Structure 1
Amino acid sequence: MNLKLNSAELKWYPVYTHARAEKKAYEALVKKGVTAYLPLQKSLKQWSDRKKWVEEPLIKSYLFVKIAEANMAEVLMTKGVARFLYFGGRITPMPDKQIEDLKLLMASSVELEVTDENLQPGEKIKIKAGPLKGITGEMISYRSQKQLLIRLEDIGCSIVVNMAASFVSRF
Structure 2
Amino acid sequence: MIDQQYKWYPVYTRSRAEKKAYDELLRKGITAYLPLKKTVKQWSDRKKIVEEPLIKSYLFVYISGREHAKVLMTNGIARFLYFSGHIASIPEQQINNLKLLLATDADLEVFDYDIRPGQRVLIKAGPFKDMIAEMVSLHNKQRIILRLQNMGYAIEINTSMGFVEPI
Fold-level match, TM-score > 0.5?
A: yes
Separation in 1 of the partners of 2:102 and 2:11?
A: 19
2:34 is equivalent to residue 22 of structure 1: no
Alignment correspondent of 1:55: 51
- 3-state SS, counterpart of residue 118 of structure 1: coil
- 3-state SS, counterpart of residue 114 of structure 1: coil
Alignment correspondent of 1:109: 105
Separation in 2 of the partners of 1:143 and 1:13?
A: 28
Alignment correspondent of 1:41: 37
Deviation at 1:119, TM superposition (A): 7.0
**Paired residue type of 1:30:** L
Deviation at 1:90, TM superposition (A): 1.8
Gaps of 5+ in 1: 1-5, 121-140, 149-159, 161-171
**Identity within the alignment, %:** 60
Separation in 2 of the partners of 1:112 and 1:12?
A: 22
Using the size of structure 1 for normalisation, the TM-score is: 0.65
Gaps of 5+ in 2: 117-137, 144-160, 162-167
Deviation at 1:51, TM superposition (A): 1.2
Separation in 1 of the partners of 2:114 and 2:107?
A: 22
Question: C-alpha deviations, 1:36-66, integer Å up to 9, x for none?
Answer: 0000111110112221111100000000000
Deviation at 1:143, TM superposition (A): 3.9
- 3-state SS, counterpart of residue 112 of structure 1: coil
Moved over 3 A (4+): none
Alignment correspondent of 1:142: 139
- 1:22-171 equivalences in 2 (<5 Å): 22-118=18-114, 142-143=139-140, 147=142
Task: Indicate the structure (1 or 2) with the bigger Cα radius of gyration.
Answer: 2
